[in-house]
Chains A and B, each alone.
Chain A
């Protein structure tokens, strides 16, 4: 009886080892980057920015304290945008941006329902974006302001660009990363929330890397020699949201804020704030 025991142990161990390997392989298949027929990563899908959580749409639910999200659902907003350094504003621009903040961003173009460049739109976790990929072009649809971007691949920027809120985009593949060059902006927008305004010299280089099935790492290099002293980066993750669809957001339908702002601006003492003196 004893001589049967060793083969049984070996077979059992092999079953466990190959069983685990098969499970791992299955997981890798599940999380593998989807690819198109030409072998490029397929970015097609609906995504949520400003979240790192996998699974369905990520929204906040109330926790124990009134108005405060439960700890499990708090991350969706604070993680919206990550950057490594302070914004390298030129001195005059830093002063202007601080004044915007002193006025609690009452001049934010978004308050007048105006869209902004990609880094701003991608970081908003409240609204999904949808990417549609073809071999010739990438289309990005934004629920936020119900706007879109058409990104031709391997094309040149047109030579008749008019200044625009979202700029003109052209893309190319750098290995598995989609690189998008964006130029042709007007000087009316904020490239990021929090008074990070820009001029018509804004130039953005975006990199979209689908790290796995659920995740696109988005990094934007923001350059504007009229406003900043050097280029800087802003990044966020775009998480796949299967089962989520884009809905309508027509911001200008009943924008009462414009009239309220007009009234408030007559009494700025109501809301204007003085930043704490950092030198003390």
Chain B
């Protein structure tokens, strides 16, 4: 019995689970997984297109200056299965809170992971950080 358990444990240790989450492209080339951002604002435009849907949001900073941010996420087919409906879930004029990661070039572009709708409902708009860029070291 003990031998069998050791064999099973050994087998489990041998399994290398590849955590290379696959998607359309590398997350890390464009976005910085260390630069999280949570922004509240009002939607100004929604693009329901492949390979990434986008929405734009006016965000006011503490000084009162408004910046129009662009957010990137899943394609329409994935959003539909994740619980989004075109022209219903995200509409121009809706208030929204977005959690994501900023673009490396410092522009007002972010990879949107999670959105919180005005009614408090939370949904994933895009995949997690690190998607598609692979492990740092080849395994």
**CB within 8 Å of B: which residues of A?**
57, 59-62, 66-69, 77-87, 89, 94, 97-98, 100-101, 103-106, 108, 110-111, 113, 120, 123-124, 126-127, 143, 192-195, 234, 244, 247-257, 260-261, 263-264, 267, 270-271, 273, 275-276, 278
Which has the most chain B C-beta neighbours within 10 Å: A97, A104, A127, A192? A104
Of A250, A260, A261, A263, which contacts B50 at CB under 8 A?
A250
| A78-B19 CB under 8 A given contacts A62-B123, A106-B26, A257-B24 | yes
Q: Convert B33-68 into 0s and 1s, putting 1 for each residue whose CB lies closer than 8 angstroms to a CB of A.
A: 000101000000001011110000000000000000
A residues within 8 A CB of B135?
101, 194
Q: List 23 A-B contacts (CB under 8 A).
A: A61-B122, A62-B122, A67-B114, A81-B20, A84-B16, A101-B133, A101-B135, A105-B133, A106-B29, A108-B132, A111-B25, A120-B22, A126-B78, A126-B127, A194-B18, A194-B20, A249-B75, A249-B77, A254-B47, A254-B49, A257-B30, A260-B30, A271-B30
Q: Check A111 against B26 for contact (C-beta < 8 Å).
A: yes
B96 at the interface (CB under 8 A from A): no
Main secondary structure of the interface of A (DSSP, over half): loop
Q: Check B18 against A83 for contact (C-beta < 8 Å).
A: yes
| A143-B77 CB under 8 A given contacts A59-B82, A66-B114 | yes
CA A123 to CA B134, docked complex, whole Å: 14
Q: How large is the interface on B (under 10, 10 to 19, 20 to 34, 35 or more residues)?
A: 35 or more
A residues within 8 A CB of B132?
105, 108, 110-111, 193
Question: Chain A: which residue is nearest B70 at the CB level?
Answer: A256
Q: How far is the CB of B105 from chain A (nearest CB, A)?
A: 7
Q: How far is the CB of A104 from chain B (nearest CB, A)?
A: 4
Of A69, A110, A254, which contacts B25 at CB under 8 A?
A110
Q: Check A81 against B18 for contact (C-beta < 8 Å).
A: yes
CA A257 to CA B77, docked complex, whole Å: 19
Which has the most chain B C-beta neighbours within 10 Å: A81, A194, A255? A194
